[in-house]
Structures are given as C-alpha cells and as structure tokens.
Chains A and B, each alone.
Chain A
Amino acid sequence: MITNKLSWKIGGEAGFGIMTTGYIFSKACVRAGLNTFDFTEFPSLIRGGHNTYQVRVEDREVHSPVKSVDILVALNRQTIELHEQELTPGGAIIYDSSLELERKIRPDVKVFAVPFLDLAKKAGGERLMVNNVALGVSFALVDFDLKTLLKVIEETFKDKGKKVTELNKAAAKEGYDYMRQLKPEFGHRLRKAKTMNRMLISGNEAVALGALKAGCKFIAAYPMTPASGIFQFLAGYEREYGIIAKQTEDEIAAMNMVIGAGFAGVRSMTCTSGGGFSLMVEAVGLAGITETPAVIVEVQRPGPSTGMPTQTGQEDLRFILSSSQGEFPRVVIAPGDVDECFHETINAFNLAERYQIPVFILSDKHLGESRTTTKVFDTRKVRIDRGAVLSDAQLRRMKQFNRYEDTKTGVSPRSIPGQRHGIYTATSNEHGESGIITEESEDRVRMVDKRMRKMKFIEREMPKPHVYGSPHPEITLVCWGSTKGAAMEALTWLLRDHVKVNLLHLVYLNPFPSDQVKAALDDGQKILLIEGNATGQLGGLIRENTGIEIGHRLLKYDGRPIYPEEIYDKVKEVLRHG
C-alpha cells in the first residue's frame, strides 16, 4: 500500500468546472497537511475544448508534476482516449458510466464505471454537480478525509448561497458513499498529516502578490494568455490597495504607460507574453535611455507568432536579453518556483528604482499557471528601496540640478514632477547631463558609459546562482527558470539512487554570473543542459560567457513542461553511454 503519494487527474469538456474541481481536490489535500503540485492543460485545438487538471500529492514538498497518473477521472471520452496511457499499472480509471466507449480499457488498470449523473440527481442536484460526485468518489477510493473535502467545497461555493453549497456537498457525499460500499481494493491511500503553515498558489498569483507587497501602484496591460492572471489579480484589489490597473488598447500603450507612471514617481509594471512583448520592444529602449524604472513580466508560451497559446516554453530568453535597439543596462530574472516569483518580483521593483532601469521577470505558462503548495511567504526581510530620489530640500540647495549627472555608480539622483526645483526634460534622444538633446561625441560617450556602468554595480550585489546536491558531482544539471521544479525532483530521485549529481539553477540571467557558473562547471564532471527550447539558449550564453561547451542536452519544445522522469532517464543514459 502506497501512502501519501498520488497523481490524480480529472478531464472533461471545457465549461464544466474542471478547473474548480481540480482546485478543490488540491486545496483539500493541502488543508489535510499534504503538499501538491497542480498542472492544468487546455489544448486549444481539440473540438469541444477539452480540459484537464492534474494534482500530484505527497507528504513532502513537491516541485513539479509527474508524467504518470494513478487515478484518472474521465467526465468525457476524450479524457480516456488522450490520457489512458499515462496511467500507472494498477492505477484506476473512474469514468462516467453513461459514456459509450469504443474499445476496451487497458487490462492492467482498475476500472470504475460510475453513474455520475444518477448520483448527482439522487443528491438532489443536476449535471453541474457531477464534478463533486467525482470528488467524493476519488476521496473514497483513496480512503481519505471526507470532512476536509466538504469544508473546502463549502468555502468554494459559499458565495452562491446556502442551497447550492448544500447540494454540492450532498453530491460529494453521495459519490463518497457509492464508492465506499463497493469496497474497492486500490494500491494508494491518502492520510492526513500535520497541518503546517502552507498556501496553494500559482506563479502568476505570487508575482501579483509580490508586486502588491513591493508597493506597485500602477499596472498597465493588454490581455494575453498566460500572463493575464497577474493583471486580473491586481485589478480585483485596485480599490482596496489603492492601485490603478489599466487595460490598454495594445501592448505599445501598456509599456509607454508604465514608463509614464515611472517617470511620475509611481512603481509600475506590465505583464504580457512573447507576442505582446514584441510590441513593447521599442519602449523598453525608451526606459533605457530616459533611465526610467520599469518592471516587465513576460510569461512565456511557445512561439513564434501565436504559437501555442495555452502551452509552455522557455524560448524568449535571448529575445528578452537583447530586445530593443542600442545598448543599455537591464536585469533579467527568471524565478524557478512560486516563492522566487514572490521575492524576485519585490527585488525587481527595488532594482528598477535603485538603478533606474527596466527589469524583467521571465516566467512561463508552467510556472505562472500551475499552483503549488509552499510555505507562507516570509515577508520579514522585505525592504522597499526607492533609490536616489532627491528631497525638496536637497533640490533647493543645489546650484544646478542635472538629472543625468555623471556619477561613480552611473545612477543619477532624480526628481519627481511636481517638485519645485527639480524641473528637467527627459528624452528618447541622446542627451547631456542636464537632459537636453545633444549629438556631441563626448556627451554621447559619457552617457553610454554612465548608463552601462550600472551593470558592474548590479553584478556585485546580485544573488549568486544556486547549486543543489552533491559537492563533488560526476554530473551537473544546468537549467534556468521554471525547469527548476522538475530538475529538483529528478535530483532527489537520483541522489536516492546514490548518483553523485548536483543542479546549477540560474535565476539571474543578466548581468550574467560568469564566475559562479564557471566555478560550478569547471570540475571535469559531465554536464547536462536542460531547457524548454530547441536551440539551448542558456547553453549558448554559458559558452559565450565562460567558454564552456556543454556536451549533453535535454531540450524540449513540444509545448509541455519538462518532466522529472525525462531528466532522470536522460541522466541515466548519459552516465551509461558517456
């Protein structure tokens, strides 16, 4: 009997509450003291719109989904057709008995044909309650705590009134009782664990929460999957937290608004995906030359062009790094999990204002939209640093205020419009120290040097890349951003197999931490590069910055996240064959 280690997946037609149902399952597990990683898929090309919600549950922290599924709940036929192969031997398939199946289900899995609709009706409900029956059935199959489930259902539907709530609960109970009286024999069970201070949150939500905590007051964006969740979250708290969330006519307007707000002294951000960011590119350079703080969150999806709107990828690193003409300083941060999403967003706002530069948070669909269980964010160390903003008194005392004064760090103290003695003109043209346009070569060189000088100081204070695992590895895994989750899982499994392995995970990609990367890879070990793109973009950066050519690559660009199983297998293969 396997306890507290389960991969559960529900699939059905879009528009029938699959996302809510999956969320309830996951949240109930978290309430019962377990850890989950949720993974949703809504392949946009399948007719009728087919959705799935997968929840991986364990009693230790989980960092990614797994490929395999132990329980598959099928509310439509497509779920069986598309996902039957993912079932582990001995796994269970629970399907709606009213579905007409064209062929037999795999003989090595347990099959439960459940009269979902009848049970829902028996509980006094309707077709919409079917999902709750499925939840009850699932909980009974793994012999789990019904009370917690009912409590979470109650919370989820409480806005819809007492009657609806009670019906939903009754449906879950009906499903639970139905499965119990079957006395099923099944190899997995879930047990309550000690409840800890945990939350279930997605990367997008964590970024939004980080932005709120950082004092972001203005967000401008144009809707685009998979970034919209960030805007939506903040828009919901516009009034309570005193922020302005502006939906714009396009991404060009969004980025220019972010700059306008930054110039006016307000912490501001935008969120988009690659296509929308393409429209922002010109304005990124405007932030660069006017030295206006800006935070840009790019939640990647596979391209080029429209690509696969609801899938994931890590294809925009090189694009972000060199977006916009000319040369100017920027910071690129790719958080690897929800905790990093929260804290790095706060860092992004501080860096943007302290160095008066555009700062990027590079996320992706997988990180942005998957919910994970994590410890409640520790905000005790959060500091808000607004950088060099001159006070009225300081400005008054100055003989002449030069907005772009050439300083040791390259950062010039700024004024905010409305300050009596701080009047200046910012401009997209090259300018001198006062801000007035110039094309003199001496001024030009001074300004470029001043701006680029900031990079050196950023580099000095930048957090170092993390290395996890064996101190003297025979193989090192290298990845960035959201791939951290799968790599951490694989690392745990490999260490358990006594493989000497470690993981170099990069969060800060610009300025590039050349020294630390070199030190981590210079041990004569084998190296495996893991990225969600076809060309090995980080691999290229590493070669460019350190001269190290990585020999082994696991590149995935099918729109799906990288799974720990794939990394595990690849490592074994590399070690076997050299």
Chain B
Amino acid sequence: MVSLADLDREKEVMTWCPGCGNFTILSALKKALVSLKVEPHNAVVVAGIGCSGHLPNWINIYGFGGLHGRTLPVASAIKLSNHKLTVIAQGGDGDGYSIGIGHFIHTARRNIDITYITHNNQIYGLTTGQTSPTSPRGTVTKFTPFGSLEDPLNPIALAITSGATFVARGFAGDLEQLTKLFQQAISHNGFALVDVLQPCVTFNRTNTFQWFRERVYKLDDGYDPTDKVAAYRKALEWGDRIPTGVFYRVKRRTYSEGLPQISKTPLVKQRIGNVDIVKLVKQFM
C-alpha cells in the first residue's frame, strides 16, 4: 500500500512563500497519486523553471527539472520510452503559456497520455513579478510600468482548440476538488490539462485567494463535459463568475496507441544487444 508518507521528502527545506497556492497543488498531487495507488517508482514528474518548478524536490517520485518552458517534450519522450509510467508535467503560466506555448499546442494535438498541471498565478513569480500571458491588460509590473498592452490568452479554450482530450480548471483554495481533478486527469487516457488558479501571495496582489473565492463556482452535474460547444461557452466565462471543474472530455486514440512497435513491450524494455542489420546492408549492395 502506498501512503502519503511514502511520497514525503520531509528532510528537504521548502522555499515557497508561506501561504503560496503551490502548497495546495503539491498536497493534491500526492493525495491523487495515493488514491490511485500509483507506486512512487512508477511515477515521474517533469517540472519547468519557476517557483512552481521546485515541486519535484518535495515529492518522492522520479523527477526531472528541465528547462524553462520545455516540460512537455521531456515528459512526452519519457512516456513514449516507457508508457507504463505515470507521467506528470507541471510548471508556471509563463513556462507553459509563454515560452513553452508551442509545445503545449502540439502535445495536446498529439494526445500523448500525460497530465499537465499549470500553476497559473497570472504572474512571473520566480523572476519577482512580471506580466505573464494570463495577466489582465493593464497589469503594472517592473517590466510594464505603464501597464501591459496585451490581452491575456485563454488556456482552457486554447487547450480545447488544440485537441486536448481532457481539459479542467482547479483552484488552489479547494484541495478536495483539486485532488479529484488530478485523479481524473491522471486516470484519463490521453493528454489532460489541469489549469490551476494559484494565488501568488507575494507578487500578485489582485488575484488573491479572496478575489477567487468571491468568483469561482463548480460546474455541476447538469453540465455535460462531452459537449464541445458547451465547453467553449464555459471556457469564455471569466470575470465576476469563474467556472471550475472538468470543461471538456473526449475519447481519442493516444499517440502511443498508434505505435504497434510498443504495443507489446515498452521501448525501454526492448533488447538492443544484437541488432541484425544484414538485410539492410544487402540493400546497399
């Protein structure tokens, strides 16, 4: 039996600011893995660079802290190399929606069976507060002292458009819901996005826990996440009311399922000791 304690790395000092939304994300991830009985050695978390990117240091599963914006290619390749592993990529809004946006679209399109968690704090935390692609127009930071002139992008709508087969939004103020969303995302067979509203208590004084609590609501049982048009409609809702939960879910063949060469044995388990190339050599003679 896997327990929460198995996932702890309590020796390591945590460097997130007290009260940061990231703590909830870490707890929810651990709980989800335990409830799904994923053994720690069969799980890999791939992190980007940002405050959020420190997460792999504090959870006892395989971890890979990569480059800023490059979690998804690394995670994709790990999954293709051994599709028996549970692979989770996670990073900030800058990481995933700015510098890494290309990979986001293409990984969704490929439907690679991984879970992608974005710690969306609408700001660059680690670099001490610049606008991110999800910051509202007019956001004043050191880099945009006269207010940003760009409209934010919509991760939920973009994910649906890009072909993600599971699209959800969580809130770091609701551990219970977030855990459930992670469970569903990890269980989903295909590319799953969970965009998490994650208040940065240090650099984002607008989108605070309080600000979100006044606005978030849960998509209820009456909502049909298999209805793409409804999903788009909900995705466009932002402001006084902000929906959370599973926006969209669809079954589609995953990338690995299209590869007969790994249908029996994961790539990493295939023997490479004595590859016979005689037939190929003949072709050149």
Contacts and interface: CB of A to CB of B under 8 A. Distances in A.
B59 to A, nearest CB: 9
Contacts of A419: 41
Nearest to A420: B41
Contact of A198 (B49, B105, B285): B285
Contacts of B3: none
Contacts of B80: 218, 244, 246, 261
A418 B40 CA distance: 9
B275 A261 contact: no
Interface string A193-214: 0000111110001000100111
Q: How large is the interface on A (under 10, 10 to 19, 20 to 34, 35 or more residues)?
A: 35 or more
A425 B45 CA distance: 9
Interface string A220-262: 1000000000000000011101111010111011101111110
Contacts of A220: 73, 77
A417 B44 contact: yes
Given A199-B281, A423-B41, A252 B273 contact: no
A256 B84 CA distance: 20
Contact of B62 (A217, A250, A417): A417
Contacts of A242: 261-262, 267, 270
B73 A244 contact: no
Contacts of B76: 257, 260
A533 to B, nearest CB: 30
B102 interface: yes
A545 interface: no
Nearest to A200: B284
A166 to B, nearest CB: 23
A249 B54 contact: no
B63 A217 contact: no
Given A246-B80, A423-B41, A429 B65 contact: yes
Contacts of A428: 49, 65-67
Interface string B51-72: 0001011001111111100101
Contact of B272 (A217, A252, A256): A217
B102 A261 contact: no
B175 to A, nearest CB: 24
Among A249, A250, A268, A384, the most chain B Cβ lie within 10 Å of the Cβ of A249
Interface stretch (A106-114, A183-191, A282-290, A453-461): A282-290
A422 interface: yes
A256 B66 contact: yes
Interface string B271-285: 011110100110011
Interface string A282-303: 1100100010000000000000
B41 A218 contact: no
B74 A257 contact: yes
B77 to A, nearest CB: 3
Contacts of B61: 423
A265 B268 contact: yes
B103 A264 contact: no
B65 A264 contact: no
Contact of B64 (A198, A248, A290): A290
B268 A239 contact: no
B262 A244 contact: yes
A253 B73 contact: yes
Contacts of A390: none
Interface in B233-285: 259-262, 267-268, 270, 272-275, 277, 280-281, 284-285
Interface string A258-277: 11110111111000000000
Among B62, B78, B80, B284, the most chain A Cβ lie within 10 Å of the Cβ of B284
B194 interface: no
B268 A215 contact: no
B56 A427 contact: yes
B75 interface: yes
A17 to B, nearest CB: 20
Among B105, B259, B261, B273, the most chain A Cβ lie within 10 Å of the Cβ of B261
A550 interface: no
A436 B57 contact: yes
A239 B261 contact: yes
B81 interface: yes
A541 interface: no
B221 interface: no
Among B39, B76, B262, the most chain A Cβ lie within 10 Å of the Cβ of B76
A376 B80 CA distance: 34
B78 A264 contact: yes
A243 B259 CA distance: 10
Contacts of B56: 425, 427
Contacts of B188: none
Nearest to B273: A384
B177 interface: no
A264 B57 contact: no
A241 B259 CA distance: 12
B27 interface: no
A542 interface: no
A416 interface: yes
B135 to A, nearest CB: 24
Contact of A423 (B62, B72, B268): B62
B68 to A, nearest CB: 9
A237 B279 CA distance: 12
A257 B260 contact: no
A253 B109 CA distance: 14
A499 interface: no
A418 B268 contact: yes
Contact of A252 (B73, B82, B85, B105): B73
Contact of A209 (B70, B105, B268, B281): B281
B272 A418 contact: no
B226 to A, nearest CB: 28
B12 interface: yes
Contacts of B62: 417, 423-425
Contact of A425 (B41, B64, B78, B261): B64
A200 B282 CA distance: 10
Interface string B75-94: 11110111011000000000
A437 to B, nearest CB: 6
Contacts of A256: 66-67, 70, 73-74, 77
Among A205, A266, A384, the most chain B Cβ lie within 10 Å of the Cβ of A266
Contact of B285 (A266, A376, A429): A376
Among B65, B106, B259, the most chain A Cβ lie within 10 Å of the Cβ of B65
Contacts of B67: 256, 282-283, 286, 428
Among A253, A377, A420, the most chain B Cβ lie within 10 Å of the Cβ of A253
A426 interface: yes
Among B62, B77, B78, B84, the most chain A Cβ lie within 10 Å of the Cβ of B77
Given A266-B81, A419-B41, 18 more contacts: A30-B285, A199-B285, A213-B277, A214-B275, A237-B280, A241-B275, A243-B267, A246-B80, A260-B64, A261-B81, A268-B77, A286-B66, A417-B44, A423-B40, A423-B61, A425-B63, A427-B63, A427-B65
27 contacts: A209-B281, A212-B277, A212-B280, A214-B275, A218-B81, A237-B280, A242-B267, A242-B270, A244-B262, A244-B267, A246-B80, A249-B103, A252-B70, A252-B73, A253-B72, A253-B73, A256-B70, A263-B74, A376-B285, A416-B268, A417-B78, A418-B42, A418-B268, A420-B41, A422-B41, A427-B64, A436-B12
In the complex, the 7 A-B pairs of residues with the closest C-beta atoms, listed nearest first: A215-B272, A260-B77, A425-B63, A427-B65, A264-B81, A256-B73, A260-B74
Interface of B: 12, 39-42, 44, 46, 49, 54, 56-57, 60-67, 70, 72-78, 80-82, 84-85, 102-103, 105-106, 259-262, 267-268, 270, 272-275, 277, 280-281, 284-285
